[in-house]
A = this chain, B = another copy of it.
Amino acid sequence: MSFHSFIPPRRTLMGPGPSDVYPNVLAALSRPTLGHLDPLFIGMMDELKALLQYAFQTRNPMTLAISAPGSAGMEACFVNLVEPGEKVIVCRNGVFGGRMLENIKRLGAEAVVVDTPWGRAVELDKVKAAISAHPDAKFLAFVHAETSTGALSDAKALCAMAREAGMLSIVDAVTSLGGVPVKVDEWGIDAIYSGSQKCLSCVPGLSPVSFSPAAVEKIKNRRSPVQSWFLDQSLVMGYWEGAGKRSYHHTAPVNALYALHEALVQLHSEGLEQSWQRHRQMHERLAEGLGALGLDFIVPQGERLPQLNTVTIPQGIDDAAVRATLLNDYNLEIGAGLGDFAGKAWRIGLMGYGARRENVTLCLAALAEVLNK
């Protein structure tokens, strides 16, 4: 057998992520590898922590990037905070709420599921009722931006409910961070995880996380060890902690962390508010164009994610053929439906660097050609 270097084409990535990566981030990725205990690398990690705190709008000292994708970030939050037998109220309005439930089950905790129809924001009344019915629950977990449906839930209100009931909140911000407001300290979020490959426009593979002082306290007072050695945050913090000597836990993904640093430098230089506004503006342009093409949004206005636009595939249209034509003839990727929405929806992402005018225009014009509109 003979093998050759793999040379991918340049695609325009407008699916649910990975999103278009900033050119500067790709450049940062290929800089010379340093040792993970090199003082210069450690210095970069300190800056990276400050940048993550900016992105999350938090002063939490326990703010870092898990050396694995968002799913591992989710698992890190659950296995560190929740102990076997503890009760978690988990909101499910798409695939990722279901994945939270899977995490809760596998660690031997008890789940109370609050279901909301797919494509809708988590229903606050139902959550309120669940909290009243289960005052012994220790956690409220929900997905801020459901990547499978394009629905945005009211994280501020949900975290306030959790806090009032003395519960800790666990929030999935994989698709929200950088694209819509995420205010960890102001909203009182206790544990939050995100992904590098959505609105941060970094390459996939890392999961930014942050834990509030109350969450850290909960972790410190565990009765049982965290079931995962790799994700045990008390060990990981020995490496990320700024003061004093860094202790080796696992080999950090050095080059990927350069890339995340660069993506966050870009976000900081643009400014969070400006980034949120740009996502909104591009969404409005796209939404108007999709409407003109006769494509209907699944999520009601007011609950829509600007960065992930889910539309119903019109009757008689061959889902796979349209996506293949866009990919092969236009180098344009849009996302298929996932879970209940497989074959029924397209997911059009406007994430991070991907949320720019030329992408909106290309996507609308290419869709018009392929759909013969």
Contact = CB atoms under 8 A, between A and B. Distances in A.
A103 to B, nearest CB: 6
A42 B319 CA distance: 20
Interface in A1-60: 1, 3-11, 13, 15, 17-18, 20-21, 24, 26-41, 44, 47, 50-51
A195 interface: yes
A127 to B, nearest CB: 23
Contacts of A256: 203, 205, 253, 256
Given A251-B70, A333-B38, A31 B7 contact: yes
State the oligomeric state as a number of copies: 2
Contacts of A67: 68-69, 72, 205
Contacts of A1: 50
Interface stretch (A165-173, A226-234, A301-309): A226-234
Given A8-B31, A26-B30, A38-B11, A75 B251 contact: no
A69 B253 contact: yes
Interface stretch (A116-124, A257-265, A271-279): A257-265
Contact of A229 (B47, B103, B251): B103
A237 interface: no
B250 A71 contact: yes
Contact of A3 (B26, B51, B106, B336): B51
Contacts of A268: 3
B11 A34 contact: yes
A50 B256 CA distance: 25
A259 to B, nearest CB: 8
Contacts of A227: 106-107, 227-228
A195 B230 CA distance: 14
Contact of A8 (B9, B40, B72, B250): B40
B71 A229 contact: yes
A6 B262 contact: yes
Interface residues of A, number: 82
A336 B247 CA distance: 12
A252 interface: yes
Nearest to A333: B35
A230 B11 contact: no
Contacts of A226: 106
A134 to B, nearest CB: 23
A258 B99 CA distance: 28
A330 interface: no
Nearest to A41: B8
A204 B68 CA distance: 11
A367 interface: no
A195 B67 CA distance: 13
A102 interface: yes
Contact of A204 (B74, B99, B254, B261): B254
Interface of A: 1, 3-11, 13, 15, 17-18, 20-21, 24, 26-41, 44, 47, 50-51, 67-72, 74-75, 99, 102-103, 105-107, 195, 197, 203-205, 225-230, 248-256, 258, 261-262, 264-265, 268-269, 327, 333, 336, 338
Question: What 3 pairs between A and B have smallest CB-CB spacing?
Answer: A205-B253, A30-B30, A68-B68
23 contacts: A8-B32, A8-B33, A8-B41, A8-B44, A9-B34, A10-B32, A11-B33, A17-B251, A38-B327, A38-B333, A67-B69, A67-B72, A69-B230, A69-B253, A71-B230, A71-B251, A99-B229, A102-B229, A106-B225, A204-B251, A204-B254, A205-B256, A253-B256
